[in-house]
Amino acid sequence: GAGVSQSPSNKVTEKGKDVELRCDPISGHTALYWYRQSLGQGLEFLIYFQGNSAPDKSGLPSDRFSAERTGGSVSTLTIQRTQQEDSAVYLCASSPRGARNTEAFFGQGTRLTVV
């Protein structure tokens, strides 16, 4: 694809259910980021994958959140036992070669609503 693709675009789930959010980065990009954006708020860092290195998970807000990246490409962010405060737009971004000084390209985001 031409850009970073995220699915689903919108997700409504009941409190207590688990959800999986998917990110397809730009082909060949080795760095992948997940951010969370609550209504009218900034970009909150969640997790960062850099090539074959151990991911930086320092932004995950609780142990209900986890993410994996299979084969260095597609990433899945999983939220277990969702809470209403998890409602936000979840943005994925990728950058080429994992090097510094390179632009991060964002997907269109997944809007998660927990009811």
Partner 1 sequence: GENVEQHPSTLSVQEGDSAVIKCTYSDSASNYFPWYKQELGKRPQLIIDIRSNVGEKKDQRIAVTLNKTAKHFSLHITETQPEDSAVYFCAADAGGTSYGKLTFGQGTILTVHP
What are the C-alpha distances in Å from 11 to residues 48, 50, 56, 82, 101?
23, 27, 26, 12, 33
Helical H segments across the chain, by residue range: none
106: number of Cβ within 10 Å = 16
φ/ψ region of 63 (left if φ > 0, alpha if ψ in -120 to 50, else beta) reads: alpha
For residue 8, cis peptide bond before it (omega within 30 degrees of 0): yes
Using the rule CB under 8 A, give the single segment among 7-15, 17-25, 41-49, 66-74 that binds partner 1. Answer: 41-49
Q: Which of 25, 33, 46, 60 binds partner 1 (CB under 8 A)?
A: 33
Nearer to partner 1, 54 or 115 (CB): 54
- Please select the residue that binds partner 1; options are 42, 63, 84, 115, rule is CB under 8 A: 42
Does 91 engage in binding with partner 1 (CB under 8 A)?
Answer: yes
Residue 43 makes contact with partner 1 by CB under 8 A: yes
Which residues would be at the binding site for partner 1 (CB under 8 A)? 31, 33, 35, 41-43, 45, 48, 50, 53, 56, 58, 91, 93, 95, 98-104, 106-109
